[in-house]
Amino acid sequence: MNEENIRARNERDLQARTKSFALRIVRLYCSLPKTTEAQVLGRQVLRSGTSVGAHYREAMRARSVAEFISKVEGDLQELEETSYWLELLIESDIVPEARLSGLLSESSELTAMLVASARTAKRKRSS
């Protein structure tokens, strides 16, 4: 498989995974208790967690390498924020850690993939 095919496959995989991540976040939000604390934290994680896929799609439509890098770095910020809100849901005893471990793990994996994409783009830009 040539480099172009690998890149295209990785892009499709990231698109699917970020969308799946967003859907999991939506389902989490819908299942949260209706307490004020849970709803406030839930809205935050809903906003940042669903932004990940949208930012990635914007990155795929970037008009330049610099714009791509900027969009991916914005995506990384949203993932970091999402992890923060998930951690607060756990540490405030609103949601058991076991229930959110998969989302936290996926957030870490998506982060690693996006960091790799940004690094590759930065190398291409400087060569």
pTM of the model: 0.90
Q: Give the tokens for residue 38.
A: 């849970």
- State the alpha helices, DSSP H only, in 32-96: 36-60, 65-91
User: In angstroms, rounded to a whole number, what is the distance separating the alpha carbons of residues 23 and 44?
Assistant: 15
Q: What is the mean pLDDT of residues 78-85?
A: 98
Full domain range(s) for residue 78: 3-126
Q: How far is CA 53 from CA 19, 27, 106, in A?
A: 5, 15, 13
The domain total for the chain is 1
Can you give the CATH number for the domain in which 76 is found?
1.20.1440.60
Q: How far are the Cα atoms of 42, 53, 59, 65, 121 from residue 127, in angstroms, in the given order?
A: 43, 29, 20, 12, 10
On whether the CB atoms of residues 45 and 7 are closer than 8 A, the answer is no
Q: pLDDT digits over 16-69, tens only?
A: 999 999 999 999 999 999 999 999 999 999 999 999 999 999 999 999 999 999
Question: What's the pLDDT band for 5 if we cut at 50, 70, 90?
Answer: low
